[in-house]
Amino acid sequence: MATNRTFTMLKPDAVEKGHIGAILQMINAAGFRIVAMKLTQMTTSDAETFYAIHKERRFFPELVTYMTRGPIVAAILEKENAVEDFRTLIGATNPADAAEGTIRKLYAASIGENAVHGSDSDDNAAIEGAFHFSGREMF
Ligand code: UDP
């Protein structure tokens, strides 16, 4: 069922600022079903593994520090066309470029601290979901 699922994290800045409820409301209103969800905190090793594709990028150390500095909400979401529709809902990586009404436009502070993650492919959605959740945590 990977085709209809995506993976998200409400990142540390969104949790710190008290935006969990508002963002989950937008996710529900957009028609996503929550398959799995938890409040958790990534270790340095977790963040380095999760974002390994970016390890040569200049922003990588900053990204790891940011993603490990406090709790996140990790979740698996289900909907037809989940990956693409969720990327539309969150908006561009840089909130300055994000469309009006998107989660990043409303809640992201910068290209680094951009409030929310959304998987960029069905394959990555399955890998990222399995990184955070065991089978018995998915409903
Ligand atoms: N990021 C950053 N600086 C950049 C690009 C990305 O700090 O110039 C961070 C940002 O938190 C982003 C994450 O690295 O969400 C992963 O980058 P990606 O290009 O995969 O963007 P996304 O898929 O999250 O929109």
Per-residue pLDDT tens for 77-88? 999 999 999 999
Nearest ligand 1 atom to alpha carbon 67: 11
Q: Is 17 annotated as a binding residue?
A: no
* 31 vs 23: CA distance, rounded Å: 13
User: What is the tally of structural domains in the chain?
Assistant: 1
| Residue carrying structure tokens 């990956």 | 83
- Burial class (CB within 10 angstroms; exposed 0-12, middle 13-18, buried 19+) of 2: middle
pLDDT band of residue 72 (cuts 50, 70, 90) is very high
**Each residue's pLDDT tens digit, 102-116:** 999 999 999 999 999
**pLDDT tens digits, one per residue of 6-15:** 999 999 999 9
32 is in an annotated binding site: no
How would you list the strands of the sheet with 116-118, edge to edge?
Answer: 33-40, 72-78, 5-10, 116-118
Ligand 1 is surrounded, with C-beta below 6 A, by: 59, 63, 93, 111-112, 114, 117, 120
pTM of the model: 0.97
> Domain of 61?
2-137
Check: complex ipTM more than 0.95: yes
Between CA 112 and CA 98 the distance in angstroms is 14
CATH number of the domain residue 34 falls in:
3.30.70.141
The reported pLDDT for the residue numbered 3 is: 63
DSSP state of 80: T
